[in-house]
Structure 1
């Protein structure tokens, strides 16, 4: 019986080659799109699962319970003091192990003088790190790797760069031309979807030797604490026990500790669902395209069944039972569905590198290791095959033999509401939805690119470096550099927009004693505001002839003035009355374009710089290379022992994470919108072809009775434009609702012309797709139409 079904399936495929190809290709494209998006969503939901104890790992966070003006999760800090781990381990036996880490930031590492690399993902960590997280050592062992001061372990990639074709263990790595570290281990590169993915790790005891931070100093809050809970521990109950552990320490009275599970670190660490909403949008797109291809398949299968009435009648005459006919139809549709799925996996393999590059993820598809995912798609294909065949199978097998011979099948329904019309309407609605979302995201990106940032990022070169030589007078260096016409202005600061930012709590004049606001703090030089071209809307800038500005005055932004509730901020005080406000700056974007602008406080830094600083220079655009050469020469002379590299600020802006995500979403939606339009075209083309075949004699009779070619064209095409009208009623509100619910503090809102353009695009697609067959049918000689069959 199976062989008979297979033979009949092959015969029908060969009999209707074009329609069979359209069915297989359309369904394969839908499956491949679903596979690609499924791989991406699975990847994003599988972050950190390479850790063997994933379900028991938590990050300890600080929640500012009395923070006013909390926005975008700024009342939660992932950073804790180093002593937090000791306090938790001593008082709560529910913790199995706790590890303390600290980010190092961008540093230069070297194995020999001419082999130096820059890396931004190093951390300090204690030896408990390997009890919490899973590392695979390729050289050395985890037991002794981070015990001694001035020891370092390297990822395989960094080790290969520093020690090509050599054993790294036992060798020496120099950090920033200053400190030597002995390599005690090399570990395999961590998976791309790891929240904590250091490229090198320095023993925490080294930090104690170099910067001498006390592990018992509660106020030193720039570490991260990761905890491994004992099996079967109730994390929520434990969180309720530890949350007030800092309340007895000065300055921490209004902070609570939280336990953030590792499964939330990537998607939702601060209680915001922004990225989860994006993943839902991806999933919705994948589902929509799969539905489109399924609707195509169901419609074409149903249309094809309308031509097989006599075949079914002959089989009934020869004794075929209804059950056998149903099995035959289902066998054919399921076979084609499985064939399409096999082709889909090949297409997914072809498109995967392109899609992975668009979403900037390390996606892969293995037919061996991804058996669960593949099994799920096989079940979906079987389900689609079943749904595609069940309606025509039940319908045809239920008709009487006389009706089947007469060919009176679906003809009576062509002027009424039918499943076919409903499916085509939803296909159009999905295409319009994707077109509208694509256009909206394109305009969103254009809006962000052209948005007034509140400062000028163009023609800024910066160098982020650690100054080791004490006594460097920045004003003297600045004056020397400004002698060159290529250099327009210069400043130094702890932070620069889109490069780095720092935060802290503060109270303010007029506020309640127990209330604080989380602000972005920045130490800047005299010329920072002018160099960045930030507008001053009230008061004055820091001036050299006001010696009291140093350490006693500050500038705030508009958001800070609003948060503090000040109508006249000049002369007001903050931070326990230590700083007096002398000026108010227009809001400028310093963090990202997705979140809102938080309160910012700028404090004047000493003229002599030492430690971590960012040097910024505004240059003439036409002389960028020469200006870079001048700056490099001056820095090599003034900072001979400090490695540096000049970068341009527009690149930092383009590499900002949320901006890259917007680009990725837009490219992805465009990619799959093309998929959906292609599916609409081939599905509509096939449906129009079937309609023309079924109504050939009707067309001939109408032409004999005086119908014009345009009248025939209108007769065959109008149905699809009526369906388009109903699809717009579905797509317009859906697209508007989905786009408007995508969170962003800087949102371009959908304009009416977007809806008009979307309707025009899909109308042109329908017109072009239907024209070929309908014009051909309308122009056909009526004699040929009447002799049809």
Structure 2
């Protein structure tokens, strides 16, 4: 019987070619979108699940509060892991990661020399590859990092330095000391893995003296710690909660000496309302559930994006199904005699229902095969838009193929079940008399309601895309508190062996360079943070609240080069001894409570307990992207002896002319000073754009899905207007004979649909406003959604709909009335 159903479905598909093309195309596009979103979601959910015992591994996070500053970070003090393992039998082992920053790697092979700056270098404990089992192509994961002079690299790094030669046993020289490191292992490239911890090179942490120097410290937060729990503990959430409940007492016992050493008794620290708490976060949660957790080590996304795309996928497949429902019910008059005759001949209703469901399955199966082909064709473009490397073979992973089959059946039911029951509800006697349910106004109401739903979704998508692009434009053009144009940032200046000032002076002498400065940090590239004891805001106060300051060490040219605005006091000046001077921003002065900060003191509890005098106050400016609030910030003179960051940048304010000539001159000078370190630079505005690349990708995807949503909706509208025009062929002919103009007939056909789209616009506006305001909460500085966005988006949908209807309506209006009235 099913074979007969399919044969009839096949014949009907060819009989009503126009509707069939619209149905198959709409369903295929909808299914393509859903499959692509499913592949994207599967890729995101797969992060860190390939590790052996992934469910037993947790990152240790620190939730800290000092004064009014509270933070949640994926960093811990160096002794945290060892202390946790020693005190809790539920924790089997720990491993740590330290990111030393950019440094030089060199390989010499006779006369040939390969020298590169490597940014993705991690210093790790010897057992790192045991706790986090990255796939190893060559070497032993247990032994490869045991020796201090070992190094493990990815396959792409091996090819970069050694070509096709076997990398094992080769020597790489690291850093300006040219420390020889023996290649003991080769890992699979990170691009082929879904991992939140991406790197190119692993070096034993024992090579870094600063880590050894701070092994006592519970306040030096430069390391990420991962712990592996016993299998029994990892299976029981109550055990993990019990573990975390014991962490405060552990810190109280073990961190007290460290806090005393920096002049801040731990009990007093807590009494002042501060906190220093450790928490466990499952390894498999890090990628999607770390929105508020600071980390420069892990790659993080937001699970909210997956929810958004899942909702988009659901709506798109519903829109495609609505097209099917609308067209099926609209052509009911064509199928009514068929149904009536079959009923008279004895066909039970259930058999007819099965027939129409079989037709829906036929259309859906054809659409699914077409959708899989479209996924194969457009996956590379989708990867480019989403910043992914999803392989088409992923369609066979993690039950995606089963999802596609279920999706196809779900779509068939969604699209076919209402028409099946609707069409089979006609009474045979009425149908054969020419009186059918087709003319029922209730059916038109339902069809109009479905069209309203389609265009409501389409308009919401248009509004969402508009808001995303407006916010992106705002972030790129907002006044950040400094002049970002034509700022050239030269990296790795610390490799100049103390000649930064001389090199800066030579560059400033170039005609294309307006200003030049040396600093330990640069906007969008991080800063060093520490906490301080400010002088009390009133002389009667005994203690002021502690404050955390993000900071740079800078020379006297920095503020002028970036055009930072000084609202009080002075900048650093060679005419003063500024080794114990500090310039703070407005946010710092406000948080401390100083109305007049000039001359006030802040004490640094590290080093020699130095006190710094405030000599200037900067107008607030953004250190990072607009996702982050402006935080308390300070500039210290690079003559200060309290700090040693080991990182240096030279920033140039340059002319926009002759950039090529200028870069050649700078690179030549660099090579004169440091021929063994590759010259690297970037422009600050490019660095800022990189900070919004995730938002840009989201905007591009929104744009594509908005286009497809409106396209699917218009396809359905095209089918409906064609049906109505055909249904009213004789009426149109009579009106033309009686003198109606073409424009009047077009208005008659389009009038009801215009009203439907206006209702959709009114429905979409409050929904879009609510959800886009929620989305904007991720930005510390955001736009107010302008009223015209809703009108323009609704207007766009209306114009597109009118254009869609207009062609078919004009075609019907200009038809020869003699053709339609010949048989009357």
Q: TM-score when scaled to structure 1?
A: 0.94
For residue 669 of structure 1, report the CA deviation from its aligned partner.
Answer: 1.0
What is the number of equivalent residue pairs in this alignment? 779
Cα deviation for residue 786 of structure 1 reads 3.0
Contact 2:206–2:212, Cα closer than 8 Å, also in 1: no
Do residues 542 (structure 1) and 567 (structure 2) align? no
Report the alpha carbon displacement of residue 777 of structure 1 after superposing the two structures with TM.
2.1
CA distance in structure 2 between the partners assigned to 1:126 and 1:356 by the alignment = 35
Counterpart secondary structure, 2:31? helix
Alignment partners' CA distance in 2, 1:255 and 1:568? 31
Q: Could you tell which deviates more after superposition, 268-277 or 258-267?
A: 268-277
Tell me if the contact between 1:152 and 1:181 (Cα under 8 Å) persists in the aligned partners: yes
Query: CA offset at residue 774 of structure 1?
Result: 1.6
Q: Displacement, 1:469?
A: 6.7
Contact 2:601/2:614 (CA < 8 Å) preserved in 1?
yes
For 1:245, what is the secondary structure of its paired residue?
helix
Q: Indicate conservation of the 8 Å contact 1:523/1:605, yes or no.
A: yes
1:92 corresponds to? 88
| Aligned-partner SS, 1:58 | strand
Secondary structure, aligned partner of 2:151: strand
Instruction: Report the counterpart of residue 134 of structure 2 in structure 1.
Output: 135
Aligned to 1:202: 203
Q: Which residue of 2 aligns with 1:718?
A: 751
Q: List per-residue Cα deviations over 1:607-626 (Å, max 9, x = no partner).
A: 99994211222222213223
1:565 alignment partner in structure 2: 593
- Residue 441 (structure 1) aligned with residue 447 (structure 2): no
Q: Cα deviation per residue 1:490-535 (whole Å; 9 max; x = unaligned)? A: 2111110012322222332337859433331211111111111111
Which residue of the other structure, out of 532, 549, 559, is the alignment partner of 1:529?
Answer: 559
Counterpart in the other structure of 1:109: 105
CA distance in 1, matches of 2:135, 2:621: 44
- Stretch moving more, 452-461 or 29-38: 452-461
SS at match of 2:648: strand
Tell me the distance in 1 between the aligned counterparts of 2:493 and 2:242.
43
Cα distance in 2 for residues equivalent to 1:358 and 1:367: 18
Q: Map 1:501-520 onto structure 2 (within 5 A).
A: 501-510=527-536, 513=543, 515-520=545-550
Partner of 2:251: 246
What displacement does 1:81 show?
A: 2.1
What does 1:556-635 align with in structure 2 at a 5 Å threshold?
556-575=584-603, 578-606=611-639, 611-635=646-670
CA positional deviation for 1:66: 4.2
Identify if the C-alpha distance between structure 1 residues 30 and 51 changes in structure 2 by more than 3 Å, giving closer, same or farther: same
Give the conservation status (yes or no) of the 8 Å contact 1:66–1:514: no
Measure how far apart 1:317 and its partner are. Answer: 2.3
- Quick one: which of 515, 519, 541 aligns to 1:489? 515
Structure 2: state its 5+ residue gaps: 234-238, 260-265, 270-274, 294-299, 605-609
User: Any conservation in 2 of the 1:525–1:607 contact (CA below 8 Å)?
Assistant: no
Alignment partners' CA distance in 2, 1:206 and 1:367: 40
Query: Could you say if the C-alpha distance between residues 189 and 67 of structure 1 is closer, same or farther in structure 2, counting changes exceeding 3 Å?
Result: farther
Q: Provide the secondary structure at the position in 1 that maps to 2:23.
A: helix
Q: CA deviation at 1:116?
A: 2.1
Match of 1:313 in 2: 340
Against the structure 1 CA distance between its residues 265 and 244, is the aligned structure 2 distance closer, same or farther, given a 3 Å change threshold? farther
- d(CA) in 2 for partners of 1:216, 1:61: 18
The verdict on how the C-alpha distance between 1:344 and 1:614 changes in structure 2, with shifts beyond 3 A counting, is same
Moved more, 132-141 or 9-18: 132-141
Alignment-derived partner of residue 237 in structure 1: 242
CA drift at 1:205: 2.0
**Contact residue 467 and residue 610 of structure 1 kept, 8 A:** no
Instruction: Measure the CA separation in 2 of the matches of 1:407 and 1:504.
Output: 86
In the TM superposition, residue 310 of structure 1 has moved relative to its aligned partner by 0.9
Which stretch has the larger CA shift, 763-772 or 497-506? 497-506
Instruction: Determine the structure 2 residue equivalent to 1:27.
Output: 27
Matched-pair contact (CA < 8 Å) for 2:733–2:818: yes
Q: C-alpha distance in 2, partners of 1:780/1:426? A: 32
Q: Secondary structure at the match of 1:612?
A: coil
- Distance, in Å, in 2 between the alignment partners of 1:513 and 1:351 is 63
Moved more, 192-201 or 623-632: 623-632
Aligned: 1:285 with 2:312: yes
The residue that corresponds to 2:51 in the other structure is 51
- Judged with a 3 Å threshold, the aligned counterparts in structure 2 of structure 1 residues 181 and 788 are, in CA distance, closer, same or farther, namely farther
**Does 119-128 or 644-653 show the bigger shift?**
644-653
Assess if the C-alpha contact under 8 Å between 2:464 and 2:702 holds in 1.
yes
CA shift in 2, pair 1:752/1:211, >3 Å: closer
Change (3 A) 1:570 1:781: same
Q: Distance in 2 between matches of 1:380 and 1:686?
A: 24
Distance in 2 (CA, whole Å) between partners of 1:187 and 1:37 is: 30
Q: Does structure 1 conserve the Cα–Cα contact (< 8 Å) formed by 2:127 and 2:142?
A: no
Q: Which residue of 2 aligns with 1:81?
A: 77
- Distance across 1 between alignment mates of 2:10 and 2:301: 49
Identify the residue that residue 123 of structure 1 maps to in structure 2. 122
Alignment of 1:120-199 (within 5 A): 120-177=119-176, 178-190=178-190, 191-199=192-200
Q: 2:796 aligns with which of 734, 758, 761?
A: 761
Alpha carbons 2:72, 2:292 under 8 Å: kept:
no
Report the alpha carbon displacement of residue 640 of structure 1 after superposing the two structures with TM. 4.7
Using the TM superposition, give the Cα deviation of residue 581 of structure 1 relative to its aligned residue in structure 2, in angstroms: 1.3
Secondary structure, in 3 states, of the residue corresponding to 1:307? Answer: helix
What pairs with 1:295-314 in structure 2 (closer than 5 Å)?
Answer: 295-314=322-341
Q: Could you report, residue by residue, the CA deviation over 1:423-469 in whole angstroms, capped at 9, with x for unpaired residues?
A: 10011111111111112222222211111121122222222226367
1:338 pairs, out of 365, 372, 375, with 365
1 CA distance for matches of 2:527 and 2:748? 65
Q: Is the Cα contact below 8 Å between 2:290 and 2:302 reproduced in 1? A: no
Post-superposition Cα deviations, 1:733-785, rounded to whole Å, max 9, x if no partner, equal 11111111112112122212212211221111111111122222223333322
Determine if contact 2:95/2:227 at 8 Å carries over to the other structure: yes
1:410 and 1:568 mapped to 2: Cα distance?
82
Distance 1:410 1:436, change over 3 A: farther
Instruction: Give me the whole-angstrom Cα distance separating, in 1, the residues matched to 2:428 and 2:214.
Output: 92
| Structure 1 alignment gaps of length 5 or more | none
Report SS of the residue matched to 2:700.
helix
Alignment correspondent of 1:423: 450
C-alpha offsets along residues 648-702 of structure 1, whole Å, 9 cap, x if unaligned? Answer: 222212222xx10121111111111121122122211111111112222333344
Q: Which residue of 2 aligns with 1:639?
A: 674
Alignment deviations for residues 689-747 of structure 1 (CA, whole Å, 9 cap, x no partner): 11112222333344455544333222211111111121112211111111111121121
CA RMSD for the aligned pairs?
2.4
Deviation at 1:604, TM superposition (A): 0.6
Q: Confirm whether residue 739 of structure 1 aligns to residue 772 of structure 2.
A: yes
CA contact (8 A) 2:105 2:115 kept: yes
Matches of 2:437 and 2:595, distance apart in 1: 74
Aligned to 1:364: 391
3-state SS of 2:36 partner: helix
Q: Indicate how the Cα distance of structure 1 residues 421 and 497 shifts in structure 2: closer, same or farther if over 3 A, else same.
A: same
* C-alpha contact 1:24 1:340 (8 A) present in aligned 2: yes
Partner of 1:38: 38
Tell me if structure 2 keeps the 8 A contact 1:97–1:131. Answer: no
Contact kept in structure 2, 1:537 and 1:586, CA below 8 Å? yes
Q: Alignment partner of 2:343: what SS?
A: helix
Q: Post-superposition shift, 1:23?
A: 0.5
CA contact under 8 A between 1:64 and 1:255: conserved in structure 2? Answer: yes
CA distance in 2, matches of 1:728, 1:124: 56
The CA deviation at 1:128 is 1.9
